[in-house]
Amino acid sequence: MREGLVSFKGINGGIYINVKNGEFNTILKELEEKLTKSIDFFREAKIIGIKGESISKEEKKELLNVIKYKYELNIIEDLEPSLKESVFDGIEEGMTKFISTTIRSGQVVEYDGNIVIIGDVNPGALIKARGNIVILGSLKGVAHAGVGGNTEAYIAAYDLRPTQIRIGSIISRKPDGNMDFIGIPEVARVCNKEIVIEPYLPRK
Amino acid sequence: MHGYKVVVVDTDIGLRNLDVVMGLENRIVYDIVDVVEGNCRLKQGLIRDKRFDGLYLLPAAQTKDKTAINPEQMMELISKLKEEFDYIIVDSPAGIEQGFKNSIAGADEAYIVTTPEISAVRDADRVIGLLEAHGINNPKLIINRIRYDMVKRGDMMNVEDIVDILAIDLLGIIPDDEAIVISTNKGEPVIAEEKPLSAKAYRNICNRILGKEVELLDLETNEGKLSRILKVLFNK
Protein backbone atom coordinates (compact mmCIF):
# COMPACT_ATOMS: atom_id res chain seq x y z
CA MET A 1 0.00 0.00 0.00
CA ARG A 2 3.01 2.27 0.34
CA GLU A 3 2.78 5.25 -1.95
CA GLY A 4 5.89 6.47 -3.69
CA LEU A 5 7.63 9.75 -3.00
CA VAL A 6 6.98 10.99 -6.49
CA SER A 7 3.57 11.18 -8.09
CA PHE A 8 2.18 12.85 -11.18
CA LYS A 9 -0.99 14.86 -11.17
CA GLY A 10 -3.00 16.20 -14.05
CA ILE A 11 -4.30 19.74 -13.75
CA ASN A 12 -5.66 22.23 -16.25
CA GLY A 13 -3.49 21.93 -19.33
CA GLY A 14 -0.64 19.84 -18.03
CA ILE A 15 0.96 17.64 -15.46
CA TYR A 16 2.74 18.59 -12.30
CA ILE A 17 5.02 16.47 -10.22
CA ASN A 18 4.24 16.09 -6.56
CA VAL A 19 7.19 15.29 -4.31
CA LYS A 20 6.81 14.09 -0.73
CA ASN A 21 9.19 14.36 2.21
CA GLY A 22 12.20 12.19 1.59
CA GLU A 23 15.85 12.02 0.74
CA PHE A 24 16.74 13.84 -2.45
CA ASN A 25 18.61 10.96 -4.08
CA THR A 26 15.72 8.58 -3.50
CA ILE A 27 13.36 11.12 -5.01
CA LEU A 28 15.61 11.58 -8.04
CA LYS A 29 15.89 7.84 -8.53
CA GLU A 30 12.18 7.31 -8.29
CA LEU A 31 11.46 10.18 -10.66
CA GLU A 32 13.84 8.77 -13.27
CA GLU A 33 12.35 5.30 -12.93
CA LYS A 34 8.87 6.61 -13.45
CA LEU A 35 9.83 8.79 -16.38
CA THR A 36 11.64 5.98 -18.17
CA LYS A 37 8.76 3.61 -17.65
CA SER A 38 6.28 5.70 -19.61
CA ILE A 39 8.51 8.08 -21.53
CA ASP A 40 6.20 8.09 -24.56
CA PHE A 41 3.35 9.40 -22.47
CA PHE A 42 5.43 12.16 -20.96
CA ARG A 43 6.73 13.22 -24.37
CA GLU A 44 3.18 14.16 -25.31
CA ALA A 45 2.45 15.91 -22.05
CA LYS A 46 3.28 19.34 -20.79
CA ILE A 47 4.98 19.39 -17.43
CA ILE A 48 4.00 22.42 -15.46
CA GLY A 49 6.32 22.15 -12.51
CA ILE A 50 7.27 20.49 -9.27
CA LYS A 51 5.37 20.79 -6.05
CA GLY A 52 6.45 19.67 -2.60
CA GLU A 53 6.66 21.12 0.88
CA SER A 54 10.10 19.88 1.84
CA ILE A 55 11.90 20.36 -1.44
CA SER A 56 14.25 23.34 -1.77
CA LYS A 57 14.61 25.67 -4.72
CA GLU A 58 17.97 24.22 -5.76
CA GLU A 59 16.67 20.68 -5.60
CA LYS A 60 13.67 21.67 -7.66
CA LYS A 61 15.94 23.20 -10.26
CA GLU A 62 18.06 20.08 -10.42
CA LEU A 63 15.04 17.85 -10.94
CA LEU A 64 13.72 20.18 -13.62
CA ASN A 65 17.08 20.12 -15.37
CA VAL A 66 17.07 16.33 -15.38
CA ILE A 67 13.60 16.33 -16.89
CA LYS A 68 14.50 18.99 -19.41
CA TYR A 69 17.87 17.77 -20.69
CA LYS A 70 18.14 14.09 -19.90
CA TYR A 71 14.64 13.21 -21.00
CA GLU A 72 14.02 16.21 -23.27
CA LEU A 73 10.49 16.87 -22.11
CA ASN A 74 8.42 20.03 -22.37
CA ILE A 75 8.38 22.19 -19.31
CA ILE A 76 6.20 25.27 -19.02
CA GLU A 77 7.54 26.93 -15.93
CA ASP A 78 5.52 30.12 -16.27
CA LEU A 79 2.47 28.39 -14.95
CA GLU A 80 4.13 27.30 -11.75
CA PRO A 81 3.24 30.20 -9.45
CA SER A 82 -0.47 29.72 -10.12
CA LEU A 83 -0.12 26.16 -8.91
CA LYS A 84 0.18 27.16 -5.29
CA GLU A 85 -2.70 29.59 -5.35
CA SER A 86 -5.15 27.28 -7.03
CA VAL A 87 -8.19 26.54 -4.91
CA PHE A 88 -9.47 22.99 -5.00
CA ASP A 89 -12.70 23.07 -6.93
CA GLY A 90 -13.80 19.47 -6.71
CA ILE A 91 -16.14 19.68 -3.77
CA GLU A 92 -19.16 18.88 -5.91
CA GLU A 93 -17.39 16.14 -7.78
CA GLY A 94 -13.72 15.41 -7.45
CA MET A 95 -10.85 13.47 -6.00
CA THR A 96 -11.74 11.78 -2.76
CA LYS A 97 -9.79 9.72 -0.26
CA PHE A 98 -11.57 7.05 1.74
CA ILE A 99 -10.21 5.92 5.07
CA SER A 100 -11.76 3.16 7.11
CA THR A 101 -9.97 3.25 10.41
CA THR A 102 -9.83 5.31 13.56
CA ILE A 103 -7.54 8.34 13.36
CA ARG A 104 -5.76 8.67 16.68
CA SER A 105 -4.02 11.44 18.57
CA GLY A 106 -0.94 12.70 16.75
CA GLN A 107 -1.94 11.29 13.38
CA VAL A 108 -2.40 13.60 10.43
CA VAL A 109 -4.43 12.88 7.33
CA GLU A 110 -3.79 15.28 4.48
CA TYR A 111 -5.25 15.12 1.02
CA ASP A 112 -5.56 17.31 -2.05
CA GLY A 113 -9.24 16.60 -2.35
CA ASN A 114 -12.16 15.39 -0.26
CA ILE A 115 -11.76 13.03 2.68
CA VAL A 116 -14.27 10.46 3.85
CA ILE A 117 -13.52 8.67 7.09
CA ILE A 118 -15.41 5.58 8.09
CA GLY A 119 -14.33 5.63 11.71
CA ASP A 120 -13.64 8.08 14.48
CA VAL A 121 -11.27 11.01 14.68
CA ASN A 122 -9.91 11.19 18.22
CA PRO A 123 -8.78 14.30 20.10
CA GLY A 124 -5.29 15.34 19.04
CA ALA A 125 -5.71 14.06 15.48
CA LEU A 126 -5.65 16.42 12.51
CA ILE A 127 -7.56 16.06 9.24
CA LYS A 128 -6.64 18.42 6.41
CA ALA A 129 -8.45 18.38 3.10
CA ARG A 130 -8.56 20.85 0.25
CA GLY A 131 -12.17 19.83 -0.20
CA ASN A 132 -14.89 18.48 2.09
CA ILE A 133 -14.52 16.23 5.10
CA VAL A 134 -17.17 13.65 5.89
CA ILE A 135 -16.84 11.45 8.94
CA LEU A 136 -19.09 8.49 9.62
CA GLY A 137 -18.10 8.39 13.24
CA SER A 138 -17.28 10.98 15.81
CA LEU A 139 -15.07 13.95 15.13
CA LYS A 140 -13.29 15.04 18.30
CA GLY A 141 -9.97 16.17 16.87
CA VAL A 142 -9.20 19.08 14.59
CA ALA A 143 -10.63 19.16 11.06
CA HIS A 144 -9.53 21.62 8.41
CA ALA A 145 -11.60 21.61 5.22
CA GLY A 146 -11.04 23.84 2.23
CA VAL A 147 -7.29 24.14 2.78
CA GLY A 148 -6.09 26.67 0.24
CA GLY A 149 -9.06 28.95 0.68
CA ASN A 150 -12.20 27.16 -0.47
CA THR A 151 -14.86 28.41 1.93
CA GLU A 152 -17.56 26.46 0.12
CA ALA A 153 -16.17 23.28 1.67
CA TYR A 154 -18.00 21.66 4.55
CA ILE A 155 -17.38 19.25 7.39
CA ALA A 156 -20.00 16.67 8.22
CA ALA A 157 -19.90 14.07 10.96
CA TYR A 158 -22.24 11.62 12.62
CA ASP A 159 -21.05 12.98 15.98
CA LEU A 160 -19.61 16.45 15.51
CA ARG A 161 -17.76 17.54 18.65
CA PRO A 162 -14.43 18.74 17.30
CA THR A 163 -11.74 20.48 19.34
CA GLN A 164 -11.52 22.94 16.52
CA ILE A 165 -12.79 23.27 12.98
CA ARG A 166 -11.28 25.32 10.23
CA ILE A 167 -12.79 26.00 6.83
CA GLY A 168 -10.58 27.93 4.45
CA SER A 169 -8.90 30.41 6.77
CA ILE A 170 -11.78 30.66 9.23
CA ILE A 171 -11.26 29.07 12.62
CA SER A 172 -13.86 28.11 15.15
CA ARG A 173 -13.37 26.28 18.43
CA LYS A 174 -15.66 24.24 20.57
CA PRO A 175 -17.15 25.91 23.63
CA ASP A 176 -15.42 25.28 26.94
CA GLY A 177 -16.76 22.49 29.04
CA ASN A 178 -18.14 19.11 28.17
CA MET A 179 -20.53 18.52 25.34
CA ASP A 180 -22.87 15.59 25.01
CA PHE A 181 -23.61 13.72 21.82
CA ILE A 182 -26.85 15.12 20.49
CA GLY A 183 -27.73 11.96 18.60
CA ILE A 184 -28.00 13.33 15.08
CA PRO A 185 -25.38 14.10 12.44
CA GLU A 186 -24.31 17.70 11.98
CA VAL A 187 -22.78 19.72 9.20
CA ALA A 188 -20.42 22.67 9.62
CA ARG A 189 -20.17 25.22 6.84
CA VAL A 190 -19.30 28.84 6.31
CA CYS A 191 -22.09 31.38 6.41
CA ASN A 192 -21.29 35.11 6.37
CA LYS A 193 -17.60 34.49 7.13
CA GLU A 194 -18.46 32.46 10.20
CA ILE A 195 -18.62 28.75 10.72
CA VAL A 196 -22.12 27.61 11.54
CA ILE A 197 -23.15 24.13 12.56
CA GLU A 198 -26.54 22.83 11.58
CA PRO A 199 -28.13 19.49 12.28
CA TYR A 200 -28.50 17.22 9.30
CA LEU A 201 -32.18 16.67 8.74
CA PRO A 202 -33.35 14.26 6.11
CA ARG A 203 -35.48 15.61 3.27
CA LYS A 204 -34.18 19.10 3.65
CA MET B 1 -2.48 35.63 40.69
CA HIS B 2 0.32 37.74 42.07
CA GLY B 3 0.36 40.05 39.08
CA TYR B 4 3.38 38.56 37.35
CA LYS B 5 3.56 37.67 33.68
CA VAL B 6 4.07 33.94 33.43
CA VAL B 7 4.40 31.61 30.47
CA VAL B 8 4.21 27.83 30.65
CA VAL B 9 6.08 25.99 27.89
CA ASP B 10 5.07 22.40 27.17
CA THR B 11 8.06 20.52 25.75
CA ASP B 12 6.41 17.11 25.68
CA ILE B 13 6.17 17.12 21.90
CA GLY B 14 4.07 14.26 20.60
CA LEU B 15 2.40 13.62 23.95
CA ARG B 16 1.07 17.01 24.79
CA ASN B 17 -1.25 17.28 27.76
CA LEU B 18 -0.71 20.60 29.45
CA ASP B 19 -3.23 22.28 27.15
CA VAL B 20 -5.79 19.62 28.05
CA VAL B 21 -5.47 19.98 31.82
CA MET B 22 -5.50 23.77 31.48
CA GLY B 23 -8.62 23.54 29.31
CA LEU B 24 -6.99 25.39 26.41
CA GLU B 25 -6.82 22.58 23.85
CA ASN B 26 -9.50 24.07 21.63
CA ARG B 27 -7.55 27.32 21.26
CA ILE B 28 -4.41 25.83 19.74
CA VAL B 29 -3.64 26.98 16.24
CA TYR B 30 0.14 27.17 16.33
CA ASP B 31 2.53 25.31 18.63
CA ILE B 32 6.12 25.35 19.83
CA VAL B 33 7.42 23.68 16.67
CA ASP B 34 5.71 26.31 14.49
CA VAL B 35 7.30 29.05 16.59
CA VAL B 36 10.76 27.48 16.49
CA GLU B 37 10.60 26.82 12.76
CA GLY B 38 9.33 30.33 12.08
CA ASN B 39 5.95 29.31 10.65
CA CYS B 40 4.39 31.89 12.92
CA ARG B 41 5.41 34.71 15.22
CA LEU B 42 6.02 33.98 18.90
CA LYS B 43 2.95 36.02 19.85
CA GLN B 44 0.75 33.89 17.61
CA GLY B 45 1.87 30.72 19.33
CA LEU B 46 1.09 31.92 22.84
CA ILE B 47 -2.34 31.15 24.22
CA ARG B 48 -3.77 33.39 26.90
CA ASP B 49 -5.29 31.56 29.83
CA LYS B 50 -9.04 31.93 30.21
CA ARG B 51 -8.97 32.53 33.97
CA PHE B 52 -5.75 34.26 34.94
CA ASP B 53 -4.53 37.48 33.38
CA GLY B 54 -0.84 37.35 32.62
CA LEU B 55 -0.72 33.56 32.27
CA TYR B 56 0.16 32.19 28.85
CA LEU B 57 0.73 28.73 27.41
CA LEU B 58 3.04 27.74 24.59
CA PRO B 59 1.66 24.32 23.63
CA ALA B 60 3.64 21.38 22.34
CA ALA B 61 3.02 19.93 18.90
CA GLN B 62 1.12 16.69 18.81
CA THR B 63 1.93 15.46 15.33
CA LYS B 64 5.73 15.66 15.64
CA ASP B 65 8.19 14.12 18.09
CA LYS B 66 10.95 15.32 20.41
CA THR B 67 13.52 15.57 17.63
CA ALA B 68 11.49 18.37 16.00
CA ILE B 69 13.44 20.90 18.06
CA ASN B 70 16.98 20.97 19.42
CA PRO B 71 18.52 22.52 22.54
CA GLU B 72 19.97 25.50 20.63
CA GLN B 73 16.55 26.44 19.25
CA MET B 74 15.11 26.02 22.72
CA MET B 75 17.69 28.37 24.22
CA GLU B 76 16.88 30.97 21.60
CA LEU B 77 13.18 30.61 22.32
CA ILE B 78 13.64 30.98 26.07
CA SER B 79 15.81 34.07 25.67
CA LYS B 80 13.08 35.62 23.52
CA LEU B 81 10.46 34.78 26.13
CA LYS B 82 12.64 36.26 28.86
CA GLU B 83 12.22 39.69 27.32
CA GLU B 84 8.49 39.59 27.93
CA PHE B 85 7.82 37.40 30.93
CA ASP B 86 8.70 37.47 34.60
CA TYR B 87 8.59 33.70 34.98
CA ILE B 88 9.00 30.99 32.35
CA ILE B 89 7.98 27.52 33.47
CA VAL B 90 9.20 24.75 31.19
CA ASP B 91 7.37 21.47 31.62
CA SER B 92 9.80 18.66 30.90
CA PRO B 93 8.67 15.34 29.47
CA ALA B 94 9.42 12.05 31.21
CA GLY B 95 12.72 10.41 30.44
CA ILE B 96 16.23 11.73 30.06
CA GLU B 97 16.43 11.82 26.28
CA GLN B 98 16.10 14.61 23.76
CA GLY B 99 12.92 16.05 25.27
CA PHE B 100 14.59 16.42 28.64
CA LYS B 101 17.70 17.92 27.07
CA ASN B 102 15.54 20.44 25.23
CA SER B 103 13.68 21.44 28.33
CA ILE B 104 16.78 22.06 30.45
CA ALA B 105 18.64 23.90 27.69
CA GLY B 106 17.40 27.36 28.62
CA ALA B 107 16.71 26.76 32.31
CA ASP B 108 18.20 28.78 35.15
CA GLU B 109 16.64 26.77 37.93
CA ALA B 110 15.06 23.36 38.25
CA TYR B 111 12.26 21.94 40.35
CA ILE B 112 12.17 18.20 40.68
CA VAL B 113 8.71 16.71 41.12
CA THR B 114 8.64 13.18 42.47
CA THR B 115 6.17 10.83 44.09
CA PRO B 116 7.00 8.96 47.31
CA GLU B 117 7.94 5.71 45.62
CA ILE B 118 11.36 4.08 45.50
CA SER B 119 11.51 3.97 41.72
CA ALA B 120 10.46 7.59 41.33
CA VAL B 121 12.99 8.75 43.91
CA ARG B 122 15.76 6.81 42.16
CA ASP B 123 14.89 8.51 38.90
CA ALA B 124 14.81 11.88 40.64
CA ASP B 125 18.30 11.21 41.99
CA ARG B 126 19.54 10.45 38.49
CA VAL B 127 17.94 13.61 37.13
CA ILE B 128 19.54 15.73 39.84
CA GLY B 129 22.91 14.32 38.78
CA LEU B 130 22.24 15.14 35.14
CA LEU B 131 21.15 18.66 36.04
CA GLU B 132 24.34 19.24 37.98
CA ALA B 133 26.38 17.98 35.05
CA HIS B 134 24.57 20.55 32.96
CA GLY B 135 25.42 23.34 35.38
CA ILE B 136 22.03 23.66 37.05
CA ASN B 137 22.89 23.40 40.72
CA ASN B 138 20.65 23.27 43.76
CA PRO B 139 17.43 22.06 42.23
CA LYS B 140 14.45 22.20 44.57
CA LEU B 141 12.25 19.27 45.47
CA ILE B 142 8.48 18.95 45.27
CA ILE B 143 6.93 15.76 46.58
CA ASN B 144 3.67 14.98 44.86
CA ARG B 145 0.76 12.70 45.73
CA ILE B 146 1.73 11.96 49.28
CA ARG B 147 -0.86 10.07 51.31
CA TYR B 148 -0.74 10.93 54.93
CA ASP B 149 -2.68 7.86 56.08
CA MET B 150 -0.22 5.52 54.35
CA VAL B 151 2.79 7.37 55.69
CA LYS B 152 1.31 7.11 59.17
CA ARG B 153 0.94 3.35 58.78
CA GLY B 154 4.51 3.11 57.54
CA ASP B 155 3.41 1.94 54.11
CA MET B 156 4.75 4.96 52.26
CA MET B 157 8.07 6.77 52.30
CA ASN B 158 7.83 9.88 54.40
CA VAL B 159 9.11 13.31 53.51
CA GLU B 160 12.25 13.03 55.65
CA ASP B 161 13.27 9.75 53.97
CA ILE B 162 13.08 11.30 50.54
CA VAL B 163 14.87 14.50 51.48
CA ASP B 164 17.54 12.35 53.13
CA ILE B 165 18.23 10.37 49.98
CA LEU B 166 18.11 13.25 47.53
CA ALA B 167 19.83 15.81 49.75
CA ILE B 168 18.27 18.87 48.14
CA ASP B 169 16.05 21.62 49.52
CA LEU B 170 12.39 20.85 49.86
CA LEU B 171 10.10 23.34 48.18
CA GLY B 172 6.78 21.76 48.99
CA ILE B 173 4.61 18.71 49.43
CA ILE B 174 1.34 18.09 47.65
CA PRO B 175 -1.15 15.62 49.06
CA ASP B 176 -2.83 13.04 46.86
CA ASP B 177 -6.17 14.66 46.33
CA GLU B 178 -9.33 13.69 44.48
CA ALA B 179 -9.88 17.36 43.73
CA ILE B 180 -6.92 17.25 41.32
CA VAL B 181 -8.45 14.45 39.27
CA ILE B 182 -11.72 16.33 39.11
CA SER B 183 -10.19 19.66 38.20
CA THR B 184 -7.82 18.33 35.55
CA ASN B 185 -10.67 16.44 33.91
CA LYS B 186 -12.58 19.69 33.78
CA GLY B 187 -9.55 21.57 32.52
CA GLU B 188 -9.47 23.98 35.44
CA PRO B 189 -6.37 24.27 37.62
CA VAL B 190 -7.06 23.19 41.18
CA ILE B 191 -5.19 26.22 42.48
CA ALA B 192 -8.13 28.39 41.43
CA GLU B 193 -10.30 26.72 44.03
CA GLU B 194 -10.38 27.77 47.63
CA LYS B 195 -10.97 24.60 49.58
CA PRO B 196 -8.86 21.62 48.48
CA LEU B 197 -5.77 20.95 50.53
CA SER B 198 -3.78 20.39 47.35
CA ALA B 199 -4.71 23.88 46.16
CA LYS B 200 -3.34 25.26 49.40
CA ALA B 201 -0.16 23.25 48.86
CA TYR B 202 0.27 24.74 45.39
CA ARG B 203 -0.31 28.26 46.66
CA ASN B 204 2.33 27.71 49.33
CA ILE B 205 4.80 26.56 46.68
CA CYS B 206 4.10 29.71 44.64
CA ASN B 207 4.73 31.87 47.65
CA ARG B 208 7.99 30.10 48.42
CA ILE B 209 9.16 30.58 44.83
CA LEU B 210 8.40 34.28 45.30
CA GLY B 211 10.67 34.22 48.31
CA LYS B 212 8.18 34.18 51.15
CA GLU B 213 8.57 32.00 54.18
CA VAL B 214 5.65 29.59 54.41
CA GLU B 215 5.31 26.70 56.82
CA LEU B 216 4.97 23.20 55.37
CA LEU B 217 1.40 21.97 55.22
CA ASP B 218 0.03 19.93 58.03
CA LEU B 219 -1.38 17.01 56.09
CA GLU B 220 -3.58 15.84 58.89
CA THR B 221 -6.80 17.17 57.46
CA ASN B 222 -10.12 17.53 59.14
CA GLU B 223 -11.51 14.78 56.99
CA GLY B 224 -8.66 12.58 58.02
CA LYS B 225 -9.40 13.19 61.65
CA LEU B 226 -13.08 12.59 61.16
CA SER B 227 -12.62 9.34 59.36
CA ARG B 228 -10.28 8.17 62.07
CA ILE B 229 -12.84 8.99 64.74
CA LEU B 230 -15.38 7.04 62.76
CA LYS B 231 -13.00 4.17 62.47
CA VAL B 232 -12.49 4.14 66.21
CA LEU B 233 -16.22 4.33 66.78
CA PHE B 234 -16.94 1.41 64.54
CA ASN B 235 -13.95 -0.43 65.83
CA LYS B 236 -12.38 -0.83 62.43
A vs B, Cβ pairs < 8 A, gives 28
> Which residues are CB-neighbours of A55 under 8 A, at least 6 positions away?
A19, A24, A27, A63
Q: Does B16 contact A126 at a Cβ distance shorter than 8 Å?
A: no
Instruction: Answer whether residue B96 is part of any domain.
Output: no
Contacts of A163 in chain B (CB under 8 A): 25-26, 28
CB B124 within 8 A of CB B166: yes
Per-residue pLDDT, A86:
67
Got the DSSP string for B134-152?
Answer: TT--S-EEEEEEE-HHHHH
On whether both A73 and A101 belong to a single domain, the answer is no
Residue B144 dihedral angles phi and psi, to the nearest 5°: -105, 150
**CATH number for B169:** 3.40.50.300
Give the model confidence (pLDDT) of B185-204 as tens digits: 999 999 988 889 999 999 99
CA-based torsion, B146, B150, B154, B156: positive or negative: negative
On whether both B230 and B128 belong to a single domain, the answer is yes
The model's pLDDT over A164-192, given as tens digits with 9 standing for 90+, comes to 999 999 999 988 877 888 889 999 999 99
Considering only A26-35, A121-130, B70-79, B105-114, which range has the smallest mean pLDDT? Answer: A26-35
Q: Which residue has the higher pLDDT, A8 or B105?
A: B105
A103 and A78, same structural domain? no
Select from A173, A172, A202 the least CA-distant residue to A190: A172
Which DSSP category does A103 fall into?
A: B
Q: Is residue B103 part of a domain?
A: no
Q: Strands A108-111, A126-129: parallel, antiparallel or unpaired by DSSP?
A: parallel
For residue B71, give its domain range: 1-91
Domains in chain B: how many in total? Answer: 2
Residue B219 has pLDDT above 80, yes or no: no
Residue A9 has pLDDT above 90, yes or no: no
Q: Which of B109, B42, B48 is nearest to B77 (CA)?
A: B42
- Over residues B44-66, the mean pLDDT reads 94
Interface predicted TM-score of the whole assembly (ipTM), two decimals: 0.77
User: Do B59 and B114 share a structural domain?
Assistant: no
Contact with chain A for residue B89, Cβ under 8 A: no
Nearest CA-CA partner of A73 in A155, A17, A146, A134: A17
Name the domain boundary from A85, A110, A144. A85
